[in-house]
A = this chain, B = another copy of it.
Amino acid sequence: MARPPSRSSTAGELPSRARAGRVILTLEDVAHAAGVHYSTVSRALDPAKAARVNASTRAHVESVARRLGYQRDMVASGLRRGRTQTIAVIVADLGNPFMAPVLRSMANRLEESGLMSLISETQDDSARLHRILNHVISRRVDAIITTAARLGDGSTLLEISRQGIPLVLAVRNVPSTRLPACTDDDVAGGRLAAQHLLSLGHQRVAQLRGPADVSSFVDRAWGFSEAITAGSAREFEVGAGSPTLEEGIRLMNRLLDTARPLPSAIFAHNDLMALGALAVMRERGISCPEQISVIGYNDSPQVDRVQPALTTVRQPAEEIGRMAAEMTVALLESPRHPPPSRSLRPTLVVRESTAVPLH
């Protein structure tokens, strides 16, 4: 299997090139060692092009490459191909335990297609979202998945999509954009929560609402209110806030300070807010579920560990993540035919924080 030595155009004596202090092997080095032209190496190492090179040459090149420890430079490859094999994943809050399973299943699915995820966090700040979008676009990511979209971000997102960058929404939708989205059916989720409370006999309820410019919370509020009205119970208004523990505390305090008579049940728009409400109640000596029932949303990891264990609406987190990744892959394969949006069914998880009202 002796091969004629190649005379590569500018090859020096050194087997490789040092750059920015680090040793970098190039196709040229492998080609030199294997005695073939570097374009042959490129083809031999690319599964899609492997047919264009003789099987024995290919085996030889592969073994040489492995021996030398060659690794293709994805930056150069990205420049040439116009594809970086990277998907930007933009989330609102990394501290929200609900995101972990979403991100994990998403990353796993993307990895199956040879894609890597570039995760960043907006901290639910639109300015930050803008910065991040510019950043990842200038990094030429192949697509963007965001779980941080607010309704007000519609025009920004549409413009990006119009630039030809595949964009998929997950968890939070922005219906006006008609972008492919994979979410939980939040209207149904709100309704589930309401029906559970109604069936227990609650007549006075309130919501701790998430931001009014995020689809999930709007939908939850809508589904809930609608069902509550249909059940002819009374709903107290207490306003909206960020979906964080702190805001849950603030809203719950305000509710307890202003609503008379007190509602007998609370629907918190996510588990963090529900935990905030529970903390306030404990502090004020109000018992849950005896005096006030609390129901959360997301079934985040560990909310079954708190006292009382939280009744909550479960979103299929893994499925949302996997599905969003799936849709992204589909969009990359045929950009002309965006996959249809999916909205997955939530389920009710009854634990200890909801019960029949006292009176």
Residues of A with Cβ closer than 8 Å to B?
18-23, 71-76, 78-79, 82-84, 86, 94-95, 97, 99-101, 103-104, 107, 116-121, 123, 134-135, 137-140, 163-165, 245, 275, 278-279, 301-302, 305-308, 335
Partner of A22, one of B163, B279, B305: B163
A95 to B101, CA, bound (A): 7
Which 7 pairs between the two chains have the least Cβ-Cβ distance? A307-B307, A22-B164, A95-B100, A20-B82, A119-B119, A71-B138, A21-B164
Measured between beta carbons, the chain B residues less than 8 angstroms from A278 are: 305
Measured between beta carbons, the chain B residues less than 8 angstroms from A121 are: 103-104, 107
Measured between beta carbons, the chain B residues less than 8 angstroms from A308 are: 307
Measured between beta carbons, the chain B residues less than 8 angstroms from A301 are: 95, 245
Known: A95-B97, A305-B278. A120 touches B135 (CB 8 A): no
Measured between beta carbons, the chain B residues less than 8 angstroms from A307 are: 306-308
Known: A135-B116, A139-B75. A104 touches B94 (CB 8 A): yes
Partner of A23, one of B18, B119, B138, B164: B164
A117 to B301, CA, bound (A): 25
Measured between beta carbons, the chain B residues less than 8 angstroms from A335 are: 21
Measured between beta carbons, the chain B residues less than 8 angstroms from A95 are: 97, 100-101, 104, 301
Distance in Å: Cβ of A149 to nearest Cβ of chain B = 20
The answer to whether B120 and A120 have CB atoms under 8 Å apart is no
A353 to B214, CA, bound (A): 38
Measured between beta carbons, the chain B residues less than 8 angstroms from A94 are: 94, 99-100, 103-104
A302 to B300, CA, bound (A): 12
Chain B residue at minimum C-beta to C-beta distance from A245: B302
Partner of A275, one of B119, B120, B140, B302: B302
Measured between beta carbons, the chain B residues less than 8 angstroms from A275 are: 302, 305
Distance in Å: Cβ of A329 to nearest Cβ of chain B = 15
Chain B residue at minimum C-beta to C-beta distance from A95: B100
Offer 15 A-B interface pairs, CB within 8 angstroms, sorted by A.
A18-B164, A20-B82, A21-B164, A71-B134, A75-B78, A75-B139, A94-B94, A95-B100, A104-B123, A116-B135, A117-B119, A275-B305, A278-B305, A305-B306, A307-B307
Partner of A138, one of B73, B117, B123, B139: B73
A104 to B120, CA, bound (A): 9
The answer to whether A140 and B75 have CB atoms under 8 Å apart is yes
